[in-house]
Copies of this chain bind each other. A is one copy, B any other.
């Protein structure tokens, strides 16, 4: 069993603000990330898949297929966008890096079997570095 990880980057902006909470509570909770006009990051997203070696090719994941899937589902729609304004799901939930990881995981899982119809490889993990000091990970099997 191998874990194959590809690292991608995109630049986007966001504002952390929970509409059901008051202004002061939002400021306390999110600090500078609650500034009214938003700010942005160079997000680094690592997508890990897991699978056995294909004996003929010597590979566990066809990374060209994975790159295409991630580009279509994540890099194109999220790249150079304002997450709050342009991504539907962030109209319902605050675009924290946790929720961003969940959203990326959902998008990849929904479209995974169309790209990888066999039993393997499987999506294993999403890791987002909002900055080099601030890192968020989820396992795909813990997200429905």
| A137, B20: Cβ atoms closer than 8 Å | no
| A101, B2: Cβ atoms closer than 8 Å | yes
A: contact size bracket = 35 or more
| A40, B56: Cβ atoms closer than 8 Å | no
- Which residue in B18, B58, B80 is a CB contact (below 8 Å) of A35? B80
| Assembly CA distance A5 to B135 (angstroms) | 5
Q: A1-B142, A41-B42, A137-B3 are in contact. Are A80 and B11 (CB under 8 A)?
A: no
Contacts of A7 in B (CB 8 A): 132-135
| A137, B5: Cβ atoms closer than 8 Å | yes
Interface, chain A (partner B; CB < 8 A): 1-9, 11-14, 16, 18, 20-21, 29, 31-33, 35, 37-42, 46, 53, 56-60, 62-64, 79-82, 85-86, 93-96, 98-99, 101-102, 131-139, 142
30 sample A-B contacts, Cβ–Cβ < 8 Å, listed by A number: A1-B138, A1-B139, A1-B142, A2-B138, A3-B138, A4-B98, A4-B135, A4-B136, A5-B135, A6-B134, A7-B132, A7-B134, A8-B133, A12-B39, A13-B39, A14-B40, A21-B57, A35-B80, A39-B40, A39-B80, A39-B82, A40-B40, A42-B42, A53-B102, A58-B93, A58-B94, A58-B95, A58-B99, A59-B96, A63-B134
